[in-house]
Chains A and B, each alone.
Chain A
């Protein structure tokens, strides 16, 4: 039971009020005001023009490009200033929640990769997406783990899947694949069925050699790796 003044309440007998609610687009407010007010879900959380203005005032040319798609604001910023920008957003604009980070392989000639940062302000109930472009020749991206500690594992995953080198990351290991895996599986050129022979199977006996699955064995691959535990003795190497 909803309260009488609940905007979500509608009379099912009145077909006029049985309306499909959809997210208002940028220009729909002028044409049909009712959509903006009627939709209980349209909190308009993804449009942050005032934050973008503040970013442009603070960083000027480091804000490269603005994009609004599906009513969501995306800000392309300069790669080497992403850490300051995140720090500014966290300190000045209350973007206190780091929701997501990941990589995108656009498979273009230049600025092939992108790293996106989804930030949320729980105080203001706003979201913003930052993106940096990364060229194939320079895969370094400043790590934002100083600002958001939650970025730690996300950056490890992005390193694992795309091969970004996150500078000043506290623990730059792979997330999913074995540490000596030579490839980055989410790159476009990586074959979906894997590279035969790149991932050995365990030995068939406790002291035996590493083996290969029949798929790799049929391709003539031999295990070349050792999955022995790393020695804890520093003098042995």
Chain B
């Protein structure tokens, strides 16, 4: 796609298209509000007129996963609910991002018991964690700005098509699963491309390309 200009195959054209795509994507995030508990109330404040997420272009909460590209998991998640959340997440079209809002969604929080998943990163690739119980709407805004910054630093073009290591394209496995090799079964199909080629590599960051955009 790009000429022999080095820099991870990035040329002038791709970086410009990247800049345009990332500008558009980062300023039109449509959150999927996965409100599970009291954090959802603060999430409503985040979308409401006082904190006004419309300033960041993400005022349109989409309750259909087909129309959303940012999932905000707000609240504690039970094992029974995790299957529904994962199904919703799988129905969201790429590119998509995930925010674990609050202590419970990030780590399980105070719910250290049999029925609550100890952090939604056990089954979702979380991009941004928000601390707090519940977090204030400013924190959610901050998380949204972090997501925007992450999007603006992505190599959308080469990521979508040709370049980049496989494991850098989409963080499927949470980091801590790599500490238990052999316990988590790998997918059986051979032509599966999103799987990490090197199971010992713990780095699943999406934006881990070594060189910044030369823009």
- Tell whether A178 is near chain B: CB-to-CB under 8 Å: yes
Instruction: Decide yes or no: A202 and B87 within 8 Å by CB, A178-B80, A214-B122, A214-B177 being known contacts.
Output: yes
Complex interface bits, A198-235 against B, C-beta within 8 A gives 1, otherwise 0? 01111111111101111101101010000100000000
Contact B172 A205 (CB under 8 A): yes
- Tell whether B86 is near chain A: CB-to-CB under 8 Å: yes
A169 to B46, CA, bound (A): 44
Interchain CB contact (< 8 A) of A222 among B87, B113, B118, B183: B183
Known A205-B187, A211-B123, A227-B83; 9 more pairs at CB < 8 Å: A193-B112, A202-B87, A209-B185, A211-B122, A214-B176, A214-B180, A217-B180, A218-B183, A220-B183
| Chain B 72-104 interface residues, beta-carbon cutoff 8 Å to A | 78-80, 82-83, 85-87, 90
Flag the segment in A24-32, A93-101, A140-148, A184-192 that touches B.
A184-192
B193 to nearest A CB, angstroms? 11
Contact B80 A192 (CB under 8 A): no
A222 to B83, CA, bound (A): 17
A176 to B80, CA, bound (A): 8
Contact A193 B113 (CB under 8 A): yes
- Tell whether A195 is near chain B: CB-to-CB under 8 Å: yes
- Tell whether A62 is near chain B: CB-to-CB under 8 Å: no
- Tell whether A194 is near chain B: CB-to-CB under 8 Å: yes
- Tell whether B142 is near chain A: CB-to-CB under 8 Å: no
Chain A residue contacts of B113, Cβ below 8 A: 192-194
Taking chain B's interface residues, is the majority helix, strand, or loop, or is none over half, making it mixed? loop
Chain B residue contacts of A194, Cβ below 8 A: 113-115
The number of chain B residues touching the other chain, given as a range, is 20 to 34
User: Smallest CB-CB separation from B91: which chain A residue?
Assistant: A206
A178 to B177, CA, bound (A): 24
| Chain B 98-155 interface residues, beta-carbon cutoff 8 Å to A | 112-115, 117-118, 122-123
A21 to B118, CA, bound (A): 45
Number of interface residues of A (CB under 8 A): 31
- Tell whether B192 is near chain A: CB-to-CB under 8 Å: yes
Contact A202 B183 (CB under 8 A): no
Give how many A-B residue pairs fall within 8 Å (CB-CB).
Answer: 80
Taking chain A's interface residues, is the majority helix, strand, or loop, or is none over half, making it mixed? loop
- Tell whether A177 is near chain B: CB-to-CB under 8 Å: yes
- Tell whether B194 is near chain A: CB-to-CB under 8 Å: yes
Q: Which of A176, A191, A192, A204 has the most CB of B within 10 A?
A: A204
Chain B residue contacts of A222, Cβ below 8 A: 183, 185
- Tell whether B184 is near chain A: CB-to-CB under 8 Å: yes
A-B contact pairs, 12 of them (CB 8 A): A177-B115, A178-B79, A192-B114, A193-B114, A194-B114, A201-B79, A201-B117, A201-B123, A204-B184, A213-B122, A214-B122, A214-B176
A221 to nearest B CB, angstroms? 8
User: Smallest CB-CB separation from B177: which chain A residue?
Assistant: A214
Q: Which of A192, A201, A218 has the most CB of B within 10 A?
A: A201
A191 to B115, CA, bound (A): 11
A143 to B192, CA, bound (A): 51
Contact A201 B122 (CB under 8 A): yes
Chain B residue contacts of A204, Cβ below 8 A: 123, 172-173, 184
| Chain B 175-208 interface residues, beta-carbon cutoff 8 Å to A | 176-177, 179-180, 183-185, 187-189, 192, 194-195
B110 to nearest A CB, angstroms? 13
Chain B residue contacts of A211, Cβ below 8 A: 122-123, 177, 184-185
User: Smallest CB-CB separation from A200: which chain B residue?
Assistant: B79
Interchain CB contact (< 8 A) of A199 among B79, B90, B176: B79
Interchain CB contact (< 8 A) of A217 among B115, B183, B192: B183
